[in-house]
Structure 1
Amino acid sequence: MNRTIIDQLEDTPIVAAIKDDNGLEKCLTSSSQVVFVLYGDICNIGGIVKRLKDHGKTVMVHLDLVEGLEAKSVSVKFLKENTLLDGIISTKIAVIKAAKKQGLATVMRFFALDSMSLEGIKKLVEPDLIDFIEILPGVAPKIIGKLVAEIDIPLIAGGLIADKEDVIGVLQSGAIAISTTNQKVWEM
């Protein structure tokens, strides 16, 4: 478990999730300490991560969304050796395993679409591999509370969080943080 990231999320529970260069620019001056990079390609990901690190951010890259990289262990190794990232986000357990072997923090992203997907989440969770789980959409406090009670891994809620009421509801349900591309929420 990465205690430093947990401390950062407890201090500032809003994760700036960036999906383009505009988000990157705005994120640099946000109070978010942890940033989820949800875009980029094999040519520019190193520069994106460096800009964030130069501004003191903890950087988690969603490998599945980096153009030109496949969800394979060699891509994790490439990112580890060619960027300053702190961790990997993925929906693929093989990528999470590879990231853990490289000493990176791990965020396993799940989509909670129905009761079957919730049961699948419980079966896939491996506390020795996964530092955090991210549940999308994040606007279901009742479901988040249930997962927090059943899974012993810090939970981050993401997706569709639009206002202070959403943030408060999710955090009160037991999520350690929320991730959002909504720049207005970054400064709440």
Structure 2
Amino acid sequence: MELHEILKGSPIIAAVKDYDGMRKALSCDSEVFFILFGTICDIGDIVDEVKAAGKIVFVHLDLIEGLAGKDVAVDFLLKTTKLDGIISTKPALLKYARTKGLLTVQRFFLLDSIAAANVDRQFATSKPDMVEVLPGLMTSAIAGIAREHPDTPVIAGGLIKTKEDVMNALNAGAAAVSSTNHDVWFM
């Protein structure tokens, strides 16, 4: 099944930031997991545990302790894990990961109008499979990016806490929401 279809059927992405959260999330219906923690010593075990539960796994390369923002980090993850894709704020890493057959999520922090103006430029460089917009409560920004890039799923992430937050993001054009909030995983 294609990722677009999976997100339609399961639009809540479990973004996990520690072992306890990961183990709790394994019992939710989320089919896609964002791994936001780990070290080069344990990332293989973390990915294996989530993959064993039949989940699609994206590793946030920028947050794995001991990895540098270089192509060799992508090669390392491919060699030592069974991940499906990576998340990063770095367009060059995402572009390289795509050449290696990985799915990619470009994460954008829309802090101001300058950051928002850079989205199209960075998007053109990395050509990610999905983009994640933080904070996820910025529905007008989500709507604009979804409109500008209709073939690329937009994920709303960050500060999503209620069913209303989830529905607002989805109604604005997000294909899914990612959240570290355990309550959101079980909505």
Segments of structure 1 that go 5 or more residues without pairing to the other structure are none
- CA–CA separation in structure 2 for the residues paired with 1:114 and 1:129: 22
Secondary structure of 2:165's match? helix
Judged with a 3 Å threshold, the aligned counterparts in structure 2 of structure 1 residues 157 and 172 are, in CA distance, closer, same or farther, namely same
Secondary structure of 2:105's match? strand
* Deviation, structure 1 residue 177: 0.3
- Of 35, 41, 44, 1:43 maps to 41
Q: Does the 8 Å contact 2:136/2:156 carry over to 1? A: yes
Please tell me the root mean square deviation across aligned C-alpha atoms, in Å: 1.2
* Deviation, structure 1 residue 116: 1.4
Q: Does 1:159 align with 2:158?
A: yes
Alignment length, in residue pairs?
Answer: 186
TM-score, with structure 1 as normaliser = 0.96
- CA–CA separation in structure 1 for the residues paired with 2:16 and 2:135: 16
Equivalent residue number for residue 4 of structure 1: 2
Q: Does the 8 Å contact 2:91/2:126 carry over to 1? A: no
Equivalent residue number for residue 143 of structure 1: 141
Structure 1 stretch 155-164 or stretch 122-131: which is displaced more? 122-131
TM-score, with structure 2 as normaliser = 0.96
Q: Does 1:96 align with 2:105?
A: no
Q: Which amino acid aligns with 1:172?
A: N
Secondary structure of 2:2's match? helix
Q: Which amino acid aligns with 2:91?
A: I
The runs of at least 4 consecutive aligned structure 1 residues that moved more than 4 Å come to: none
- CA–CA separation in structure 2 for the residues paired with 1:178 and 1:8: 13
Segments of structure 2 that go 5 or more residues without pairing to the other structure are none
Q: Does 1:180 align with 2:179?
A: yes
Secondary structure of 1:167's match? helix
Q: Which amino acid aligns with 2:65?
A: E
Aligned-pair identity in percent equals: 47
Q: Write out per-residue CA displacement over residues 54-86 of structure 1, whole angstroms, 9 at most, x where no aligned residue.
A: 000000000000000101110101101110000
* Deviation, structure 1 residue 115: 1.4
Q: Write out per-residue CA displacement over residues 96-119 of structure 1, whole angstroms, 9 at most, x where no aligned residue.
A: 012111100000000011111111
